[in-house]
Amino acid sequence: MNRPKLKVVTPVWAQQIEVVRQGDILFVVGWGRVHIPYDAKLIASEKFSRMDIFQRFHRYALRQLSERGTNGDTGVYQFADATTDEKLIAFIQEFGPVWGVVDSAKYEENGTTTITVAQTMESLRNEQKTFAAVTKILQQVNRNSQADTEIIKTQMLEIPWLAPYGYILSGIYQYGGPTDKKSATLYWANIALCMVFNGYPSKLVPYNGEVFEMPEMNDEGIRDAIYWQLRRDYLAQRAIGSCLHCGSHFPVYKRGTQGCSEPCRRALRNQKYWNKSKATINAERREKRTEGK
């Protein structure tokens, strides 16, 4: 396995995580928490996926998609698609709380911390709902002229603190800006996205004579890290696809990609072939059955 070209590791919330559910509250226990970035050269390549949170996002996506061969940073988009409590808890089990309250913290002799954070299921569901809505807005904004204005407006109305922009687009509030519908929608959508991402600012970290930009890694959870990836895809104007086979969101690195992974793309190719050739295939099958009689 080749060592990833990383100079500084963005640490995971904890190296080992356990989730205990008590009613509506998740107590998330993390062992081996490191609070500061560290030199990538000090970590064996096979340990990167356990120590760097973005590498862990990638590993999680591979496992959740049954090692379909997905690329990039699709792990954060798995949170947008985590529409059941089971999927949400599985995500927390892998990465730690999205945002909760620190219940206890104990500093260990090896320099790490053992930490427990409490997060309610209600807050977790709300975090997922908000993240999914922002993802869908970003998906449309990055389509530019192909953006679906109704999707943008609907998703804005899903988030209380973005709802005023949805009201503007619905004509309930009157403000300035472009007058045609598509331009106005993209104008207010970009303002809304900037407001979201400005709420989770990056930080500059000096290390070994260089300066690196990375998300804040808080004891309370990984919320800044998951929005950091959306922020990167927004700045890169990277297309966010919806897999036509399984429905999962994924960053598009090759234009025209319609599936999130090789198995999904294979399934789509097979379906396309079947739609094109089913009349011929069925005719051949009928002919064989007739010959058999």
pLDDT for position 183: 94
Dump pLDDT digits (tens) for 222-249.
999 999 989 999 999 988 877 766 766 6
Residue-wise over 180-208: b if at least 16 C-beta within 10 A, else e?
A: eeeebbbbbbeebbeebbeebebeeeeee
C-beta of residue 93 within 8 angstroms of C-beta of residue 214: no
Dump pLDDT digits (tens) for 25-71.
999 999 999 988 877 777 777 777 778 888 888 766 555 544 444 44
Please state, rounded to an integer, the average pLDDT across all residues of the chain.
Answer: 84
Both tokens of 31, joined, read 């062992």
Dump pLDDT digits (tens) for 135-145.
999 999 999 98
Q: Within 10 Å of residue 27's Cβ, how many Cβ atoms?
A: 17
Dump pLDDT digits (tens) for 66-99.
444 444 446 788 899 999 999 999 999 999 999 9
By percentage, how much of the chain surpasses pLDDT 70? 82
C-beta of residue 234 within 8 angstroms of C-beta of residue 193: yes
Residue 133 pLDDT > 70? yes
pLDDT for position 240: 82
pLDDT for position 266: 73
Half-sphere exposure (CA, 13 Å, Cβ side) for 91? 29
| 18: confidence class by pLDDT, cuts 50, 70, 90 | very high
Question: In terms of pLDDT, which residue wins out, 5 or 237?
Answer: 237
pLDDT for position 6: 67
pLDDT for position 269: 73
| Average pLDDT rounded to a whole number, residues 238-264 | 71
Dump pLDDT digits (tens) for 176-193.
888 889 999 999 999 999
Residue 161 has φ and ψ, to the nearest 5°, of: -85, -5
Which amino acid belongs to residue 248? S
* Range with lowest mean pLDDT among 63-67, 85-89, 103-107, 203-207: 63-67
| 261: confidence class by pLDDT, cuts 50, 70, 90 | low
Residue 210 pLDDT > 80? yes
C-beta of residue 115 within 8 angstroms of C-beta of residue 104: yes
Question: In terms of pLDDT, which residue wins out, 123 or 276?
Answer: 123
Query: Where exactly are the structural domains of the chain?
Result: 8-260
Dump pLDDT digits (tens) for 151-181.
999 999 999 999 999 999 998 888 888 888 9
State the pTM of this model. 0.81
